Amino acid sequence: MKKLLSIFAVVAFAFSAHAGTLDDVKNRGFLKCGVTTGLAGFAAPDDSGEWAGLDADMCRAVAVAVFGDRSKVEFITTTGKSRFPTLASGEVDMLARNTTWTISRDVNLGFEFVGVNFYDGQGFMVPSALGVSSATELDGATVCIQTGTTTELNLADFFRLNGISYEALPIETNDEGKENLFAGRCDVYTTDASGLSSTRAAASNPDKWVVLPEIISKEPLGPLVRHGDHQWGDVVRWSLNAMIIAEELGITSENVDAQMSSNVPEVLRLLGVEGNYGEMLELSNDWAYQIIKQIGNYSESYEANVGPDTPLEIARGLNALWTQGGILYAPPFR
């Protein structure tokens, strides 16, 4: 009986004991990062099978911060529905998955959004042959919509507000949405405008599709972690901020070595030459240097994955730095 009790005690301990996520990640030797099932520009395997995109870079930046090695990430795909249980259960250490920061997710679901890596808004895409120029002309249309998303709720609100009717065709993944839209099962596909650009870029003939001008919601997309583990939250938050601050300071992956001998104090603090900010986060002191060296600053990641020169052709817009007409802003590095 004593033995039995001790077995139970061990099992109970294993279930209830939660060491910090940062220690878990360090002990495991790699980061588990939840991403989409494939959304070009944000997280999708590239031609060589490597995960690439703005969100994939976010995961890699955290891996670099912890291990100094961009390859120490396991990407775990999640659907709109499975993403929250996956994070809550500890299956992944963080989500970087086009997830909109809302009060109910932040508070009620027990998560912590650590920042915004893409300011988005919900839009509509229709075949250009329909001749529709505004979303208010969509009365009676069949709309493909991903279930379990904020866009699903915005869609209902938008049509109710404008007093027009629609028929929702619920889908699970972006691929399903693509398939149904291209087959004409639905007239309209609605999701975040960035997702629409990504879907349009993947079409065999992108000119046959138009994204309507209306943006009907605020969709701040950002990485999130479990609520309550502030140390880990800080690591992810400042990995993102480091990339934004690097852009502000003009540090790129190319000139980062030269910047080590800069005379700007904030540059020296960020790169770990001065101060011990890395140690405060329980990381090595050159963590931010490594992120910039291996991943690049925010601008580099943006331009390589979703910017005007990529198939997605998304201008910086809101995602430009606050000094350049956008709203991208990171707290000071001091």
Q: Which is nearer to other proteins, 51 or 159 (CB)?
A: 159
Q: Which is nearer to other proteins, 129 or 332 (CB)?
A: 129
Q: Give the nearest distance from C-beta 101 to other proteins in angstroms.
A: 15
CA–CA separation, 276 vs 284, rounded Å?
Answer: 9
Residue 272 exposure: Cα atoms within 13 Å on the Cβ side: 19
> Encoding tokens for residue 119?
């300011």
Instruction: Name the burial class of residue 52, with classes exposed (0-12), middle (13-18) and buried (19+) by CB atoms within 10 angstroms of its CB.
Output: buried
Contact 93/232 with Cβ under 8 angstroms?
A: yes
First to last CA, the chain: 57
Q: Which is nearer to other proteins, 49 or 184 (CB)?
A: 184
Q: Give the nearest distance from C-beta 5 to other proteins in angstroms.
A: 10
**Under the rule (CB under 8 A), what is the footprint of other proteins?**
8, 11-12, 15-16, 18, 80-81, 84-85, 88, 104-105, 107-110, 130, 138-142, 147-148, 152-153, 155-157, 159-160, 166-172, 176, 179-180, 183-185, 187, 226-228
Q: Give the nearest distance from C-beta 289 to other proteins in angstroms.
A: 34
Q: Which is nearer to other proteins, 53 or 80 (CB)?
A: 80
What's the Cα-to-Cα distance from 7 to each of 1, 12, 16, 19, 211, rounded to whole Å? 10, 9, 14, 20, 60
Contact 141/164 with Cβ under 8 angstroms?
A: no
Q: Which is nearer to other proteins, 89 or 263 (CB)?
A: 89
CA-nearest of 32, 36, 209, 213 to 118 is: 36
Q: Give the nearest distance from C-beta 19 to other proteins in angstroms.
A: 14
Q: Give the nearest distance from C-beta 227 to other proteins in angstroms.
A: 5
